[in-house]
Structure 1
């Protein structure tokens, strides 16, 4: 919209003359009100007139910024408190806090918003590729991208608030994303792990993961009321997470996350026996501590790690158990669409992207079997 402006001459008691530039934007259709912008300059009237024309150009070209000396640290804290905290889930907010405090604020925190330039952000991205400030190891491209997007979102809001003229995160060269191939156990290694777990409190959760492939929060939120013993189904209805050392139960993030899964017969029998031994009721947690309370997310992950170390088993992330379940299903020729529904992926494409390497192997085996059945005749 076009702007108009005029000068107001001001004389202080000290004798110093200043001019206040008052610029007005054309009245908006919805409110009928004019939006005003102000700037004070020292010097002669001719210099003030020149400054006024430059001010109008800044406003019309959207390069105007409010005169603010807010630091990146202070702005990010305000951004999270005012624009993020009430809009996203507690776990997502916690990710924002952890990433900004550990990776962004130590680098940019003491700088004023207007001081952060494109080259500063680019150097920071390259530095993360070489070395994480927490571990000293190179960071994965996907992790760098997630952290970068937090800074970019904050800077985008600063542009909207007219604190900076443009986003210094625009046109940044990011590390090339690598296709993720989950690290999984072979069938023999899975059998050995389950043998090691027999007679321990890890046997039931490992059986559930290998047979059904739940997310950690879905597993920890399971209660006996979620098991339909008559029809052999498990219902995923809740997700238990830990935020600021407090357990929080919430609904799955997507509609596809809320699902009903057929339970293999061996696991169903184990669940029946476990419930009878505990004399559990519907609201009791299936995977729980000795006092019946649910685990905190990190505590259960540590329990899993200790189990692997104690048994001398190859290191795995707990989430890799879910990948093992998916890999076994697809390797056995189970439809990717069925796998998607059991895993609760938001789309068929997500399943295809993560497990494309498994599906290529299955496709190759299918082609070999087809060739053998059609064209390889037994010798006389």
Structure 2
């Protein structure tokens, strides 16, 4: 029977017994668009039954639209294409740089050479486990849960797209597990600490910036991107239209300060200003005009509310250093600059502000985000809550 070919129905493929005793099955999977010739895939089996079962499986997958044409593309090849074609045009440069870094530093070295269609869930799970236990590039322990989740976000996104393009049957990353995220405890300043902070900040030329931060809850990038045309001194409002960040340019191997629009439409918002803040902004603008006169033609006017003495955008890291210096001068505990935004939100919530109003002030898309991030208890708040029991439990005593 060696060399005997058993033809099946039209388009169902063929099964041939080879001289070495194995059975060769060939399935027709379509036509080559370039030549018009039939495209076939070939597999070898020990028995005729195995070969017939495989052909039947291919037919079923073709009929149900689940057939995936064999491909030699690797994980590295697909990741590179996915980042360039699907991610780069859609996200901000900073996000693209983060995704590309994760792929280049972590995913590709470990999984890049594996054929995409051979990648399995257990391989990915072992990869995540190894990264968590000993994944730091400097060899000093494991990566944080946050980085593991970022790695998964990148790999999972690429594999989802591969499923959509029928490169793979299913997403092998879908059923993996990652370490639980440990959210960083936010540390709002108390009312007394805010007073000390602002008193120390008065000595800085950017005092108005820290005052605006504490009374509007702007993100750092939003504050540093604010221009004078977005500040209405007459009506006492400011409007957020863009943000400033230092962005790594992956293709060019450098970084630069870039202005961009907020990530969401809710990030574009108008915020009322307290009269005291408006007055301080007027004083700040007057001092800025003096700087313009002093530097003359050397002044680089970007119309920024908060700029360097030469008018150029403030490096975000330098602004954070100023914040740290103010904390030191005020003798306060260390809190992040972002905790000033948290302070703004916490004070308003403690004063009974409507969460929907706070959501809009902070530029969140959903009220649930606002409550999840900022609605937490303080000892002072818990004491006040317990005190309210007096009016009910001891009213008749």
Short-chain TM bin: 0.7 to 0.9
Is the counterpart of residue 160 in structure 1 residue 164 in structure 2? yes
**Could you tell me which residue of structure 2 aligns to residue 38 of structure 1?**
40
Is the counterpart of residue 126 in structure 1 residue 97 in structure 2? no
> How far, CA to CA, are the matches of 1:90 and 1:71 in structure 2?
25
**Could you tell me which residue of structure 2 aligns to residue 355 of structure 1?**
374
**Could you tell me which residue of structure 2 aligns to residue 249 of structure 1?**
259
Choose which of 158, 169, 172 in structure 1 pairs with 2:176: 172
- Does structure 2 retain, via aligned residues, the 8 Å contact 1:71–1:111? yes
- Does structure 2 retain, via aligned residues, the 8 Å contact 1:333–1:362? no
Q: What SS class does the counterpart of residue 376 from structure 2 fall into?
A: helix
Cα deviation, 1:201-222, whole Å, max 9, x if unaligned, reads: 4423222211111012211110
Within 5 A, what are the aligned runs for 1:168-207?
168-178=172-182, 181-207=185-211
Is the counterpart of residue 79 in structure 1 residue 85 in structure 2? no
CA-CA distance at 1:188 after TM superposition: 3.0
Provide structure 2 residue ranges, at least 5 long, that are not aligned to the other structure: 1-9, 17-23, 250-254, 293-300
**Could you tell me which residue of structure 2 aligns to residue 92 of structure 1?**
95
**Could you tell me which residue of structure 1 aligns to residue 297 of structure 2?**
none
> How far, CA to CA, are the matches of 1:166 and 1:314 in structure 2?
50
Choose which of 331, 341, 366 in structure 2 pairs with 1:322: 341
Within 5 A, what are the aligned runs for 1:221-232?
221-232=225-236
Q: What SS class does the counterpart of residue 358 from structure 1 fall into?
A: coil
> How far, CA to CA, are the matches of 2:103 and 2:328 in structure 1?
32
Closer, same or farther: CA 71–299 of 1 in aligned 2, 3 Å: farther
Closer, same or farther: CA 305–96 of 1 in aligned 2, 3 Å: farther
Query: TM-score of the superposition, structure 2-length normalised?
Result: 0.75
Cα deviation, 1:288-331, whole Å, max 9, x if unaligned, reads: 12211112444544554566568775333322221121112222
CA-CA distance at 1:115 after TM superposition: 3.8
> How far, CA to CA, are the matches of 1:126 and 1:41 in structure 2?
35
- Does structure 2 retain, via aligned residues, the 8 Å contact 1:20–1:40? yes
> How far, CA to CA, are the matches of 2:217 and 2:49 in structure 1?
71
- Does structure 2 retain, via aligned residues, the 8 Å contact 1:5–1:24? no
Cα deviation, 1:83-129, whole Å, max 9, x if unaligned, reads: 11112333332332233233323332333323432112222333444
> How far, CA to CA, are the matches of 2:395 and 2:162 in structure 1?
72
Would you identify which runs of 4 or more consecutive aligned residues in structure 1 move more than 6 Å? 46-49, 309-312
Q: What SS class does the counterpart of residue 68 from structure 1 fall into?
A: coil
> How far, CA to CA, are the matches of 2:319 and 2:76 in structure 1?
33
Q: What SS class does the counterpart of residue 279 from structure 1 fall into?
A: helix
Q: What SS class does the counterpart of residue 5 from structure 1 fall into?
A: coil
**Could you tell me which residue of structure 2 aligns to residue 208 of structure 1?**
212
Closer, same or farther: CA 217–158 of 1 in aligned 2, 3 Å: same
> How far, CA to CA, are the matches of 1:194 and 1:186 in structure 2?
12
- Does structure 1 retain, via aligned residues, the 8 Å contact 2:131–2:142? yes
- Does structure 2 retain, via aligned residues, the 8 Å contact 1:239–1:250? yes
CA-CA distance at 1:80 after TM superposition: 0.7
Cα deviation, 1:226-269, whole Å, max 9, x if unaligned, reads: 11111211111222233232333232222221111111232222
Closer, same or farther: CA 301–56 of 1 in aligned 2, 3 Å: farther
Is the counterpart of residue 338 in structure 1 residue 360 in structure 2? no
Choose which of 275, 278, 281 in structure 2 pairs with 1:265: 275
> How far, CA to CA, are the matches of 2:220 and 2:188 in structure 1?
16
Cα deviation, 1:4-30, whole Å, max 9, x if unaligned, reads: 434599xxxxxxxx98642349xxxxx
- Does structure 2 retain, via aligned residues, the 8 Å contact 1:42–1:48? no
Cα deviation, 1:158-185, whole Å, max 9, x if unaligned, reads: 2333333322102112333456642233
Q: What SS class does the counterpart of residue 238 from structure 2 fall into?
A: strand
> How far, CA to CA, are the matches of 2:131 and 2:323 in structure 1?
29
> How far, CA to CA, are the matches of 1:153 and 1:374 in structure 2?
54
Cα deviation, 1:53-87, whole Å, max 9, x if unaligned, reads: 45435545766544333332222111111111112
